[in-house]
Chain A
Amino acid sequence: MLEITSTRHNPFVDPQLHVWGWEIPVYLFFGGMIAGMMILAGIAMLRVARGEDPESFFSVQTPLLGFMLMNVGMLALLLDLSHKLYVWAVYLTFEPLSPMSWGSWVLLVAYGILMASALVRIGDSWPWLTRTFPVVGRLSAALETPSRLRLLAFANIGFGIGLGIYTGILLSAMVARPLWNSAILGPLFLFSGLSAAAAMVHIAVRIFPGRPAPQGLVGGAFAAMWQPLGARAPRAGTENALVRADVGFLGVELVLLALLLLGLVTAGASQIAAAQILISGAYAPAFWGAIVFAGIVLPIALQLLELGHRIPHTVVPALLVLAGGFALRWVLVNAGQASQVLQSASR
């Protein structure tokens, strides 16, 4: 028998660590999805640069959507900070050992890349801007040379991968939380981000494009915000391509999740206890129900049926993927905080 009592009573630390609520999962979710969108946009841009799909719809529209979602993610992050007035301190230093420091800088650069990428054809979504400030139009045009587009594409892909993996590494660097402390978390969050990105773009493709948008200062700005894909419609087959990609990403994600659990249950007592939290503990219903079943298995099945034309195309699988992607962050952030390095029972 081992009876442990402690007099410590710090809020958010006792009886169990709970320093991160909904904000960090939201931030990680958006971060991962944006990373995925950057990668998707990068790939599309490469094709545009090669002249394969000069009108490629998401090479230019996805970054704008990403840029806007990025603001949401950053807002969530800011809300989490408990010493907000000092947030500038992140950019007074670079801490090579801190994933968060890396992340802060990567985010900053990604912001720039997204902005530049969004600028490429800003006139499509917000004509007023280029009309009023011709310089923006010129900038837009200048960016659209194949070599510059290629550069932008590589930047999107590179920093997208960086950002995607970072959202996992941020957690996995913490030895103190055995549930997180796994090299799988980076790739897992990257692929989850990709699947969410594909789903998000899929939804955007479905809902927004092809409708005439307001053109003016205010109307145009709003339109650019909630109708970012502009009046241009995607090429036929776009949706199928997205769905196929999504199925692939989800498949990889499932394998990575299995590897994560396998890694944990075959390691030490702390890791086994950590895995229990997901497998059979407090977070098991959310893990099995919301992440594995509703977030991965079900959308794979539905999307395969869609591809096989057994059921009509809907956004339902995409919505499930998004919910599942958020659930993955939410469950891992919470369950991870509940996991701890256990003292060896014998001494």
Chain B
Amino acid sequence: MPSPSRRRFLKISAATLGAAAAVPMLQQATPFARAASAGPGTVTTIPTYCEMCFWKCGGIASLRDGKLWKFEGNPLDPMSRGRLCPRGTGAPGNHIDPDRLKRPLIRSGERGQEQWKSVTWGEALDYVAERMKKIAAEHGPESIALWKHGTGSRFFEHVMRAYGCVNKAAPSFAQCRGPRDIGNLLTYGTGLGSPEPTDIANTRCLVLIGTHLGENMHNTQVQEFAEAIGKGATIICVDPRYSTAASKAKHWLPIRPGTDLALVLAWLNVLVKEGLYDKDFVAKHGHGFDKFAAAIAENTPEWAEKETGIAAGVIRETAREMARHRPATLVHPGRRVNWNGDDAQRARAIALLNALLGNWGRQGGIFLAAGMKIAGYPFPKYPEPGKPKVDNPDGRWPFADEEVTTGLREATITGKPYPIKGWVVYAANLIQTLPNEKETIEAIKKLDLLVVVETHPSEIAGWADVVLPDTTFLERHDDFYVGWGRQGWAAMRQPVVAPPDEQKPAWWMAKELANRLGVGAYMPFKDMEEYLAVRCEKSGIDYAKFKREGIVMGPKKPITIEEGAEIAFDTPSKKVEFFSDQLAKAGFDPVPKYTPPEAPPAGFYPLVTGRSPVHTFSRTQTNPLLADLVGENEVWINAATAAKAGLKSGQYVRLKNEDGVVSNRVKVKATQRIRPDTLYMVYGFGHTAKGLRRALNKGASAAQLNTRYKVDPLMGGTSIHRNFVTFEKEA
């Protein structure tokens, strides 16, 4: 797509010419004479996989006369099943986004002032390599850490590992699915990973606790959600807000935020007390059931009603409804589950609820994901790590099985156990994604080098010493995505269009950096085509066909007991751990126990967050296609609460938290769709980076208000919903 002004100019001149000649031609004019710009031209298509979020759907990009036109689902791909979500469909908007970074930048002012000078790639990479070498010489390569999110970080991680760096972290664990995976790991011996192996399509009863499918646009799940609705599945939705999913539900349980564990415990209690659970499953696969049953004996619906605000009768009725459909009842394990800072235990309680329903490896429950193998590239061995990682010293969070972001940040601030002097940040807008931006900034101030690899002049880029402009996913090769699901598959990422300016693909940057750091041997291939072709060749995959089709499917395997699969559990007891000896030994509750959330100070409300279907985190707010649809977020306030506070829909307010942090102005949405004691906001807005011109000061940032976070003692997950806010009216 050319720039709008240019397109407009071309069309106008065409129209003027047309006018002169139009009279005799009228009869021939088709109604699409103009819409014909949407018509043929020369259209070419290239498959690739989407990275507008991390679901990684397979898609097919169309070019019209060599210009990027549209991006659609690849029917061969099991994730998209031929259809993308709105963000994927809006991916061409990323390519043309005028706010993108265009060339490498080196800081010219104070850190955080967003003052730059443009430099050549050679200058930028030399600068980075020199600084890295200096840090390595003074403190060791372990003092350079990588922050990463997304496929493109693959070769940065690889090169840095080759250079001797050991520290890295991604917000996808401690800020996202970590607590859920640990809750499941402790219970079943396996986390669920991504994509979650949930058989939503065939479930008879779907329980959504927070999980706001339809706004959370994880594509396959949304598709299957609609399929389940079509087949008449019962939906039970627990959410303080009347979410899209809640509007599809037979039972909407508008829970008091932070009290979900009480509800889940009460459900467990009903299933056990009324003998509605899957006794065969428990007998065969359960460990410590009696101790578990005893532990939850007091958690009656009546008890839970007081905590959650959900009537005991409704709790009983919904528990019975779940039992009625088991094993084809699925309590969705959730994804971004870190709401309160004790979320791993809630996730574990949900895992136990699924266990009582006996849905492990069952149709309509949780299936056993199948994968496929693609041989790795024959890289040289990495050097032995010189020092241990800093993010989780002495197993402070004993059950964390990935790096803890706030741990790495804290080590950077304290310099303990050893100093962290360099950060390389790849596609993670840490100011918006980590709780308490003050601490992030404090950590940045300790650094000798902050390199940010970005597509956009984001908030974190604003603090960088060097900014390296990445291509968008439509403009580059990346490694294959090898996915786990109903059937294993792999997807191809390849450039469909050239980057508009001097942006370079991540792998190229990593390769250039490797050469400068003296570890070029770890990037021996000429380019990605060569790398990918080698992997294919070693795996017996036809690379040319893969390029053409974008997807290769792995072998089909049974994924449910119904299909002949067998189940086994990799816990210490080799069973489903209703009672967890490991937790007991580590000094935690072996069976989840509820603690009530703090009450807000008078006049304050808990602020909870979620997703807009057309945006991804804080990364799409400048995308012209998507920003056109949702250009700012709104703060949802129950209509009665708003009326009492004298607030009207459409009016702007600022939110202030207990620590006095005041947000950017944000529009009020006074609505029936939320509890009177709770506020809601879509996360990702309220940008403060000046370069994000389209998004600057549009809406409020939930992250900015998240100053009082709690850290999950099991695994280091940080709470996002434990700040309270009040309104300040905008004059």
In their complex, do chains A and B touch, with some C-beta pair under 8 Å? yes
Binding site for B on A (CB under 8 A): 1, 3, 7, 9, 85-86, 88-89, 92
Would you give the 0/1 interface string for B684-699, flagging 1 where the beta carbon is closer than 8 Å to chain A?
0000000000000000
Distance from A88 Cβ to chain B, minimum over Cβ atoms (Å): 7
Chain B residues, Cβ within 8 Å of A1? 639, 672
Asked, given contacts A7-B629, A92-B26, whether A85 binds B671 with beta carbons under 8 Å apart, the answer is: no
Closest Cβ–Cβ distance, residue B319 to chain A (whole Å): 31
Provide the bound-state CA to CA distance between A186 and B630, in Å: 43
Give the residue name and chain of the B residue nearest to A15 (CB): B650
Binds A, one of B15-23, B171-179, B217-225, B338-346: B15-23
Using A1-B672, A7-B629 as known contacts, say yes or no to A88 and B23 having CB atoms under 8 A apart. yes
A345 → B minimal CB distance (Å):
15
Select one of A3, A7, A86 contacting B672, CB under 8 A: A3
14 pairs, CB–CB < 8 Å, chain A vs chain B? A1-B672, A3-B671, A3-B672, A3-B673, A7-B629, A7-B630, A9-B628, A85-B15, A85-B16, A86-B19, A86-B22, A88-B23, A89-B26, A92-B23
Which residues on A sit within 8 Å (CB–CB) of B671? 3
Rounded to whole Å, the gap between the CB of B655 and the closest CB of chain A is: 21
Give Cα distance in the complex from A3 to B673, angstroms.
10
A7 surroundings in chain B (CB, below 8 A): 629-630
Number of interface residues of B (CB under 8 A): 13
Q: In the complex, how many angstroms separate the beta carbon of A11 from the nearest chain B beta carbon?
A: 12
Residues in A neighbouring B639, C-beta threshold 8 A? 1
Q: Closest Cβ of chain B: how far from A81's Cβ, in Å?
A: 13
Report the minimal beta-carbon distance from A268 to chain B, rounded to whole angstroms: 27
User: Chain A nearest CB: distance from B282 CB in Å?
Assistant: 45
Task: Name the B residues within 8 Å of A89 (CB-CB).
Answer: 26
B699 to chain A, nearest CB (A): 16
Extra A-B contacts (4), CB below 8 Å, given A3-B673, A7-B630, A86-B22: A1-B639, A9-B628, A85-B16, A85-B19
Bound Cα distance from A1 to B638, whole angstroms: 13
Q: In the complex, what's the smallest C-beta–C-beta distance from A1 to chain B, in angstroms?
A: 6
- B1-31 contacts to A, CB under 8 A, are 15-16, 19, 22-23, 26
Q: How far is the CB of A7 from chain B (nearest CB, A)?
A: 6
Residues in B with CB closer than 8 Å to A88 are 23
Nearest A-chain residue to B670, judged by Cβ: A3
Contacts of B22 in A (CB 8 A): 86
Please indicate the chain A residues that have their CB under 8 angstroms from the CB of B15 in the complex: 85
B707 to chain A, nearest CB (A): 31
Interface residues of B in 610-633 (CB under 8 A from A): 628-630
Q: How far is the CB of A198 from chain B (nearest CB, A)?
A: 42
Give A24 Cβ to nearest chain B Cβ, in Å. Answer: 24
Contacts of B23 in A (CB 8 A): 88, 92
Least distance between A59 CB and chain B CB atoms (Å): 40
- List the B residue with the shortest CB-CB distance to A84: B19
CB nearest to B669 among chain A residues: A5
Q: Which residue of B lies closest to A83 (CB)?
A: B15
Q: How far is the CA of A3 from the CA of B642 in the complex (A)?
A: 15
Q: Give the docked Cα–Cα distance between A312 and B701 (Å).
A: 71
Q: Give bound CA distance, A3 to B650, whole Å.
A: 13
CB distance from A322 to the nearest CB of B (A): 37
Residue in chain A with minimal CB distance to B650? A15
> In the assembled complex, which residues on chain B have CB atoms less than 8 Å from the CB atom of A85?
15-16, 19
B631 to chain A, nearest CB (A): 9
For A86, the chain B residues whose CB sits under 8 A away are 19, 22
Kindly report which residue of chain B lies nearest to residue A1, judged by CB atoms.
Answer: B672
Cβ contacts under 8 Å, B672 to chain A = 1, 3
Closest partner residue, chain A, to B614 (CB atom): A7
Q: Which 3 A-B pairs have the closest CB atoms?
A: A85-B19, A1-B672, A7-B629
Q: Which residue of A lies closest to B639 (CB)?
A: A1
Residues on A with C-beta less than 8 A from B630 are 7
Q: Smallest distance from the beta carbon of A13 to chain B beta carbons, Å?
A: 15
Q: Smallest CB–CB gap between B94 and chain A, Å?
A: 20
A89 and B628 CA atoms in complex are apart in Å by 34
Q: In the complex, how many angstroms separate the beta carbon of B90 from the nearest chain A beta carbon?
A: 14
Query: In the complex, which residue of chain A has the Cβ closest to the Cβ of B631?
Result: A9
Please measure, in the bound complex, the distance between the C-alpha atom of A92 and the C-alpha atom of B29, giving whole angstroms.
14
Min C-beta distance of A85 to chain B, whole Å:
4
CB distance from B667 to the nearest CB of A (A): 12
Residue of B nearest to A93 (CB): B26
Minimum CB–CB distance from A229 to chain B (whole Å) comes to 41
- How far is A88 from B630 in the complex, measured between Cα atoms in Å? 40
- What's the Cα separation between A1 and B673 when bound, in Å? 11
* Residue in B closest to A92 when the chains form the complex, CB atoms: B26
> Distance (Å) between the CB of B30 and the closest chain A CB?
15
Which positions 319-349 of chain B face chain A at CB distance < 8 Å? none
What CA separation (Å) do A241 and B91 show in the bound complex? 73
| Complex Cα–Cα for A89 and B23 (A) | 9
**How far apart sit A86 and B26, CA to CA, in the bound complex (Å)?**
11
B115 CB, nearest partner CB in chain A, Å = 35
Distance in Å from the Cβ of A338 to the closest Cβ of chain B?
18
Q: Which among B16, B19, B629, B630 has the greatest number of chain A C-beta atoms within 10 A?
A: B19
Q: In the docked arrangement, what's the CA distance between A89 and B673, Å? A: 50
**What's the least CB distance linking A78 to chain B, in Å?**
15
Q: Which residues of A contact B19 (CB under 8 A)?
A: 85-86
Cα-based distance from A9 to B629 in the complex (angstroms)? 8
In the complex, A86→B29 CA distance in Å?
A: 14
Closest to A2 in B: B672
CB neighbours (8 Å) of B673 from chain A are: 3
Most A-side CB within 10 Å, residue of B16, B22, B630: B22
Mask for B634-672, Cβ within 8 A of A = 1, else 0? Answer: 000001000000000000000000000000000000011
Tell me how far the C-beta of B481 lies from the nearest C-beta in chain A, rounded to whole angstroms.
32
CB distance from B384 to the nearest CB of A (A): 56
Nearest CB in chain B to that of A86: its residue? B19
A3–B672 Cα distance when bound, in Å, is 8
A129 to chain B, nearest CB (A): 33
A89 to B22, CA, bound (A): 10
Bound-complex Cα distance A1 to B242 (A):
15
Minimum C-beta distance from A112 to chain B (A)? 23
Docked Cα-Cα span, A163 to B646, in Å, equals 52
* Bound-complex Cα distance A57 to B22 (A): 46
State A7–B626 Cα separation when bound (angstroms). 12
Minimum CB distance partner of A9 in chain B: B628
Chain B neighbourhood of A92, CB < 8 A:
23, 26
Shortest CB-to-CB span from A172 to chain B, Å, is 29
Instruction: Give Cα distance in the complex from A246 to B679, angstroms.
Output: 63
Give Cα A7 to B628, complex, Å. Answer: 10
Give Cα distance in the complex from A42 to B499, angstroms: 72
**A3-B19 Cα distance, complex, nearest whole Å:** 46
Q: Indicate the member of A3, A9, A92 with the most B CB atoms within 10 Å.
A: A3
Q: How far is the CB of A261 from chain B (nearest CB, A)?
A: 30
Q: How far is the CA of A9 from the CA of B639 in the complex (A)?
A: 24
A102 to B22, CA, bound (A): 23
Quote the shortest CB–CB distance from B615 to chain A (angstroms). Answer: 13
Tell me which residues across on chain A come within 8 A of B26, comparing CB atoms.
89, 92
Determine the distance from Cα of A300 to Cα of B34 in the docked complex, in whole angstroms: 54
Residues on B with beta carbons closer than 8 Å to the beta carbon of A3: 671-673
User: Complex Cα distance A7/B634, Å?
Assistant: 14
Nearest CB of A to B247, in Å:
12
Cα distance, A88 to B19, chains bound together (Å)? 10
Q: Give the docked Cα–Cα distance between A83 and B26 (Å).
A: 16
A109 CB to closest chain B CB, in angstroms? 22
Within the assembled complex, what's the spacing in Å between the Cα atoms of A112 and B22?
27
Q: How far is the CA of A85 from the CA of B20 in the complex (A)?
A: 9
Cβ of B33 to closest chain A Cβ, rounded Å? 12
B19, closest chain A residue (CB):
A85
- Tell me how far the C-beta of B199 lies from the nearest C-beta in chain A, rounded to whole angstroms: 32
- Least CB distance from B474 to A in Å reads 25
In the assembly, what is the distance between CA of A92 and CA of B22, in Å? Answer: 12
A302, chain B: closest CB distance, angstroms: 45
Contacts of B629 in A (CB 8 A): 7
Instruction: Kindly provide the distance from the CB of A16 to the nearest chain B CB, expressed in whole angstroms.
Output: 14
CB distance from A9 to the nearest CB of B (A): 8
CB-defined contacts of A9 to chain B, threshold 8 Å: 628
Q: How distant is the Cα of A222 from the Cα of B16 in the complex, in angstroms? A: 35
